[in-house]
Chains A and B, each alone.
Chain A
Amino acid sequence: MSSLPIKIQTGSAIRSDAASPKQIRRIPTRPAPTSRMADEAFRYATLFCAASILVIVGLIFYELIERSQLSIGQFGWKFFSGTNWDPVSGDFGALPFIFGTLVSSAVALVIAVPLGIGVAVFVTEMCPKALRGILSFFTELLAAIPSVIYGLWAVFVLVPIMREHIQPFLAKYLPWTGLFTGPPYGIGMLTAGIVLAIMVVPSISSITREVMSAVPQHQREAVLALGATRWEMIRTGVLRNARTGIMGGIMLGLGRALGETMAVTMVIGNRPEIAKSLFAPGYTLASVIANEFSEATDDLYLSALIEIGLALFLLTVVVNAVARLLVWSTTRGVPARVHGQ
């Protein structure tokens, strides 16, 4: 908007612009007072809508803090280092949930980052034009599948496969890592991580695609003209320039993985324990809220669950804020468009 040479607005705005081009200023655009009032009213109505977004976020923050006061007062910082979660005796520590959330998200990222970047590289740089639209449609579709359907599929299809094939395979060939030991239940951290990976790939690949398209075409041509192969061109000419934005995409994926609820709840096993093996069942911040919130009978229990919500909120706000700043800095202030986010 600022690039316009002449800014035409209603009468009042033009009068205040007294220093700008002469001809326009002389035109007596002075609408009837009622119309000017209508303009003002409309402006305030839309301003109200825009401000409501600020209000919503503020309200979320306020409500979470207000409703978790009881728990914050009772446990203080020990809430986040305690490992005991016992609603009966009223002792609440959130460490197993924090552990579960971080580990399942980490597993998801380890799997999803190479896949997401690979898909983005293929779609933007390698594949024939005809295939491009179809592929991006399919990745968009992956983002549109509801969490609960991922969960349903994981429970009845993925879990048996994990139990009978993948987990025994990992236990046999990679036991020295210490991550793949113990009985293969099928459910557990690893399965949750894999489901999360499938769910965050679209976020990562769509942002990566976007920041890669923001790399100017002559950059590619210049690297190719120096005799680089296509992969060298992608690596040095495109990926290196887009790396900040790609980091942003990864952070967005992380944000989604941290807050994902239903699918994880259905496959992670829902046991608040800290185990080294990825085969072991776990519990996440989001799934403990989903499972126990409507059963929380006494105030302290409810307050502890809301404090978990507060922790999750702050965690995802920080991750998302960093992600957006990274993406914005790459696409140079062009608003990022995220499908299915």
Chain B
Amino acid sequence: MANSGRVSLRRNISNGVANFLCIAAVILVLAPLCAIFFYLIVKGAGSINLAFITHTPKPVGETGGGFGNAIVGSMYILGIASLIGVPLGVGAGIYLSEYGPGMFCNVIRFTADVLNGVPSIVVGIVAYSLIVLQQKHFSALAGGTALAIMMVPTITRATEEMLLLVPHSIREAALGLGIPQWRSTLSITLRTALPGVVTGLMLAFARVAGETAPLLFTAFGNQYWNFKMDQPTAALPLQIFVYAISPYEDWHKQAWAGALILILLIVVSVALVRYVTSRGVLRGNH
């Protein structure tokens, strides 16, 4: 009896210790998250004003100026990236879900996952050698292409996953009515899965919105407004990086403010995604 009691105590203690360690892990992981948001708001909020959002950067030594061109430039580059990446990604997702399964589809899936893990800086090098070296100068197009390459695998896998959730009876019903398959895929299957697909698009967008490394030597950055595809363009993450590693106090403040705007952009899109998915547009399948 005594023996079994002691073993049970030991087991209880190890159970308690494991509980404690897991809770400690959660706290340790959430602490930096809270710290990052705390500092972003404390250090960044003070420097955000109308001038910051609408003006271009001032030269060193002059106070004031803003990230206006960087914010617009980021949107511009992300727009180019979406124009290239979204059709490719959605198309590939449709192929994987509607014309799979098969060896070829598995190869594509695997390649997409591997591409997802390729470091962003390497993608930057490739965009540089494919576009910048050909055009002979840095450009928004090169930056957009680099980001598009990074968007494609995320969008592909999300689209595929969402299309596979659409019940087969719906496809069969559409085909039974004599609708051609392409029409059924586009206006019935894709239409049904649209909220989920949009979620995937937003996640991919949020993921590349903050990417800096692939823009370093593709979009390159710019002190002025630029709306030409083939010219260097400012981008928010790039500007944050340049300002953060500069030795000027005033620039550091602006880096924090820029970071706050960037994170708001991303958090809003991620939260939107959570909202759409938690409303259970595809709840019947969970």
Q: Are A39 and B180 in contact (CB under 8 A)?
A: yes
Q: Are B19 and A231 in contact (CB under 8 A)?
A: yes
Q: Would you call A309 an interface residue if the criterion is a C-beta within 8 Å of the partner chain's C-beta atoms?
A: yes
Q: Would you call B178 an interface residue if the criterion is a C-beta within 8 Å of the partner chain's C-beta atoms?
A: yes
Chain B residues near A237: list those with CB within 8 A.
none
Q: Are B210 and A56 in contact (CB under 8 A)?
A: no
Chain B residues near A4: list those with CB within 8 A.
168
Q: Are A335 and B19 in contact (CB under 8 A)?
A: no
**Set B121, B157, B244: member contacting A152, Cβ < 8 A:** B244
Chain B residues near A144: list those with CB within 8 A.
206-207, 210, 266-267, 270
Asked whether A316 and B119 contact (CB < 8 A) given A141-B33, A144-B206, A198-B32, the answer is yes
**Could you mark each residue 1-20 of chain A with 1 if its beta carbon is under 8 Å from any beta carbon of chain B, else 0?**
11010001110000000000
Q: Are B125 and A64 in contact (CB under 8 A)?
A: yes
| Closest partner residue, chain A, to B112 (CB atom) | A53
Number of interface residues of A (CB under 8 A): 106
Chain B residues near A115: list those with CB within 8 A.
25, 28-29
**Could you mark each residue 2-31 of chain B with 1 if its beta carbon is under 8 Å from any beta carbon of chain A, else 0?**
000000000110110011011111101110
**Set B18, B126, B181, B213: member contacting A234, Cβ < 8 A:** B18
Q: Would you call B81 an interface residue if the criterion is a C-beta within 8 Å of the partner chain's C-beta atoms?
A: no
**Set A42, A117, A201, A262: member contacting B241, Cβ < 8 A:** A262
Asked whether A38 and B212 contact (CB < 8 A) given A152-B259, A316-B117, A335-B160, the answer is no
Q: Would you call B175 an interface residue if the criterion is a C-beta within 8 Å of the partner chain's C-beta atoms?
A: yes
Q: Are B26 and A122 in contact (CB under 8 A)?
A: yes
Number of interface residues of B (CB under 8 A): 105
Q: Would you call A157 an interface residue if the criterion is a C-beta within 8 Å of the partner chain's C-beta atoms?
A: yes
Q: Is the interface of B mostly helix, strand, loop or mixed?
A: helix
**Distance in angstroms between the alpha carbons of A10 and B188 in the assembled complex:** 16
Q: Would you call B55 an interface residue if the criterion is a C-beta within 8 Å of the partner chain's C-beta atoms?
A: no
**Could you mark each residue 91-113 of chain B with 1 if its beta carbon is under 8 Å from any beta carbon of chain A, else 0?**
11011101111000101111111
Q: Are B29 and A201 in contact (CB under 8 A)?
A: yes
Q: Would you call B39 an interface residue if the criterion is a C-beta within 8 Å of the partner chain's C-beta atoms?
A: yes
Q: Are A8 and B25 in contact (CB under 8 A)?
A: no
Q: Would you call B76 an interface residue if the criterion is a C-beta within 8 Å of the partner chain's C-beta atoms?
A: no
What number of A-B contacts does a CB cutoff of 8 Å give? 295
**Distance in angstroms between the alpha carbons of A232 and B237 in the assembled complex:** 46
Chain A residues near B262: list those with CB within 8 A.
146, 148-149
Q: Are A317 and B181 in contact (CB under 8 A)?
A: no
**Distance in angstroms between the alpha carbons of A240 and B33 in the assembled complex:** 30
Q: Are B109 and A57 in contact (CB under 8 A)?
A: no
Chain A residues near B23: list those with CB within 8 A.
122
**Distance in angstroms between the alpha carbons of A259 and B107 in the assembled complex:** 23
Q: Are A54 and B241 in contact (CB under 8 A)?
A: no
Q: Are B244 and A266 in contact (CB under 8 A)?
A: yes
A77-85, A210-218, A318-326 - the one binding chain B:
A318-326
Q: Would you call B50 an interface residue if the criterion is a C-beta within 8 Å of the partner chain's C-beta atoms?
A: no
Chain A residues near B14: list those with CB within 8 A.
229, 231-232
Q: Are B216 and A293 in contact (CB under 8 A)?
A: yes
A270 to chain B, nearest CB (A): 10
Chain A residues near B115: list those with CB within 8 A.
53, 56-57
Chain B residues near A261: list those with CB within 8 A.
119-121, 212-213
| Closest partner residue, chain A, to B157 (CB atom) | A335
Q: Would you call A25 an interface residue if the criterion is a C-beta within 8 Å of the partner chain's C-beta atoms?
A: no
Most buried by A among B100, B168, B211, B244: B244
B263 to chain A, nearest CB (A): 6
**Set A51, A148, A337: member contacting B157, Cβ < 8 A:** A337
A223 to chain B, nearest CB (A): 13
Q: Are A50 and B121 in contact (CB under 8 A)?
A: no
Known: A50-B105, A57-B111, A153-B40. 13 other contacts (CB 8 A): A36-B180, A45-B91, A54-B107, A63-B129, A67-B129, A118-B24, A142-B32, A230-B19, A290-B213, A313-B119, A323-B117, A324-B114, A338-B116
Nearest 10 interchain pairs by C-beta: A146-B210, A259-B119, A118-B25, A49-B91, A42-B182, A320-B117, A46-B95, A231-B18, A261-B213, A50-B95
- Which residues on B are within 8 Å of A, measured CB to CB? 11-12, 14-15, 18-19, 21-26, 28-30, 32-33, 35-36, 39-40, 43, 87-92, 94-96, 98-101, 105, 107-126, 128-130, 149, 152-154, 156-157, 160-161, 168, 172, 175-176, 178, 180-183, 185-186, 203, 206-207, 209-213, 216-217, 220, 237, 240-241, 244-245, 252, 255-256, 259, 262-263, 266-267, 270, 274, 278
A-B contact pairs, 21 of them (CB 8 A): A38-B182, A46-B99, A53-B92, A54-B107, A119-B25, A138-B33, A144-B210, A146-B210, A147-B210, A148-B262, A152-B256, A156-B252, A234-B18, A290-B213, A293-B125, A293-B217, A309-B121, A313-B119, A320-B113, A320-B116, A321-B110
